[in-house]
Amino acid sequence: MSNAAVSRRATFRLGGGILAAGLLAPTVRSAAAQEASPEASVVEALGRRYIEDLLNKADQASVDEIIAEDFVLHLNGSDIPTREGFRGFLAGLHGGFPDVNYEIQDLAVDRDKAIVRWVVSGTQEGVFNGIPATGLPIANVPGISWLRIADGQIAEAWVVVDTLGLLTQIGVIPGPESAPPAASPVS
């Protein structure tokens, strides 16, 4: 076998469906690259702590412990840089949804990455992203966090959440039940 990069397709079973993760990093790697990858158990533990200690509890000691100083949160196309920026994100999240609860649905590990599929629930009792409190609950809003681990800390997170579903549940965007009936076709 040559040393040329070999791509592979990874498929993860999630719930009842299948997620094809597409082309991943080459399977042929140098010894230095193999040594640089953290143990799978460490990566998995950091993925769980990200959800449980940070998103659910906003534990500030855990922020210092598991979030890298130069961390970047890529959230639905926006970037929030640094550990301090992440603290601000957590403050906004917990200010808007004091009872926020993320529930891990699936967690997969690929070398230095933890991929966490989750749902979030809570009640919007405070301002959230400039939206005044509605007092309305959200339930089972799905999302995925893709975490890159370096030097025993989370260095980057790519997060995608069903923002349309969340905004619909808190009444900011009308849901399908409030849409006017479809017009009859003209004959």
Distance CA 50, CA 157 (A): 10
Pick out the chain residues at pLDDT < 50.
Answer: 1-34
How far is Cα 150 from Cα 113, in angstroms, rounded to an integer?
9
The three-state DSSP-derived secondary structure of 61-100 is HHHHHHEEEEEEEEECCEEEECHHHHHHHHHHHHHHCCCC
Strands (E), the chain: 9-14, 17-23, 67-75, 78-81, 101-110, 113-123, 137-150, 153-161
Give domain 37-173's CATH number out of 3.40.50.300, 3.10.20.340, 3.10.450.50, 3.40.190.10: 3.10.450.50
Ordered by start, the domain boundaries in the chain are: 37-173
Structure token pair of residue 6: 């070999």
Q: CA 126 to CA 84: how far, in whole Å?
A: 21
Contact 92, 73 (CB under 8 A): no
Q: What is the value of pTM for the model shown?
A: 0.77
The per-residue pLDDT for 35 is: 53
- pLDDT tens digits for range 28-65: 444 444 455 789 999 999 999 999 999 999 999 999 99
